[in-house]
Structure 1
Amino acid sequence: MELRHFKAMNKVHDTSGYVTALEAFDSIPQLRELKVLARQRGGIVPGGSVLDIGCGFGLETLRLANEIGPSGMVSGVDISPDFIAEARSRAEQAEAAIDYRVGDAHDLPFAAASFDSVRAERMLIYLKDVSGALAEMKRVLKPGGRLALIEPDFSTNTINIGNRRLMRRIVDHETAVAVEQSWLPGPLAVALSGIGFNDIEIATRVLIFPQELGATYFKSIGVHAQEAGVISGVELTEWQDDIDRLRDKDQVFATIGYFLFTATAP
């Protein structure tokens, strides 16, 4: 799995590895805390209407459906047809009535003022045109509707490798190629205010990777850096050997900072 492929998931034809990795990432307690807080602050109430943009295969969308209940309306949009197919299958198994559609965050397939709540998670970082996506969120929200966005500061990725200069080179390379917005939380509050959103609140958590997920991910970005000529083969061996030693002792400590933005539509 390569994060840079999230920039165009509609072109990825085998998403099974992404499903497995995203399920592992979803289990991180600090991320779960932010998701709960997003539902609490994001206007998710029984009988309401909510849109999950960049819903993937529906991990959070199913939770939203449970809270909204049968009298409400839950919709999910993702650019990946494979993710949407998996989401529909899971919704059918859970007997959840969710309107899943293949669609683009810059051109949402819904009328204006359709939803009480709109949420997105780890989606804006992969877009070149964040302002266009925010404008679409505002368009489909009802006046006074609630917005909840969960996004990482990708530049805060780190792991407890002793060679900090090598770590910085590898992470900086991955930051440059894997996402379009490597420091999105910085300008996001200003962007929301600039297009008219009110009552903007920010919450944060530092996510701690599970041992295996952290080791696998950071070893893989070392490979990406070596393939791009950013580090040498010798440095890659050092990097991967150090991570393996940490993993063997259950001492991998890899983290990334995440931010929750909630706001009210005008």
Structure 2
Amino acid sequence: MSEAARIALGMMRIENLSDGEIRDLYAGAREAGVTHFDHADIYGGGEHGCERRFNEALQLSPAEREQVVLQTKCGIRSGGRGFDFSAQYIVRRAEESLEALGTEYLDVLMLHRPDTLVEPEEVASAFSQLEAAGKVRSFGVSNHTTPQIELLKTAVTQPIAVNQVQFGLGHAALVAQGIAANMEGLKQSAVRDGGLLEYARINGITLEAWSPFQRGFFSGSIFEQGGLRELQAVLARIATERGTTPTAIATAWITRHPARMRVVLGTTRVSRVGEAVAGAQLVLSREEWYELFVAAGYEVP
């Protein structure tokens, strides 16, 4: 995986952009080396709105389509009515995404959030139908724990290639819980995902970090939130020392981890895409990595 391939551009916010703005964003990302574009069926009002805008604005030629990775997600019922991992629902939503995106195949289809009513045989049936028809090339999940993936694998035969999870300096439980393992009384030591970080590395699952610059669950940007002055100061200092930007350093913090994660940006600013790509090309020292981790409010016992 090239360093530019460590960056994906999320399409969650493009529905209200003009065709020209979408084209400029796409062209800027491609010029920076980004080839990975992330969608979901519910982005843009719940009925494939952002997928349709992407296709309407870009009208990718067959040759251009082969040069990019288009991934989308399904499983969240629009209108906030829970989740649905039935075979019929997965297949229908995947086929709607194909139509909306104007493509004959999806490079990656992910199950968006866990459905506690999941029947693994239903997921297996959907995946096999879509793969056999040439409509989906690989499969993954999003926001799934280790046991939830293992449950799917009792019936699903295709590799689970990717798991998209929230991760970054403002939301780092993925690594923080392991660092504080066995520390009784320290809140950070609580294991919430079944050891997902190590599980993904052992099983060759690519972790994709969504909302990499958000604090908590959509609580504001780490660059702007008032309670993160120490982190902002350390980001600024290291950025100055490295001759780059805080965005690049926050990206480098994620890509420095040997799990080889991919960073999914939610920006509509071409400049931020370029900064993130530059960050993926940096290798932070261990000292820099842990200094940022502590500045973000986490413990190193």
TM-score, normalised relative to structure 2: 0.33
Structure with more strand by fraction: 1
Structure with more contact order per residue of length (Cα contacts < 8 Å, sep ≥ 6): 1
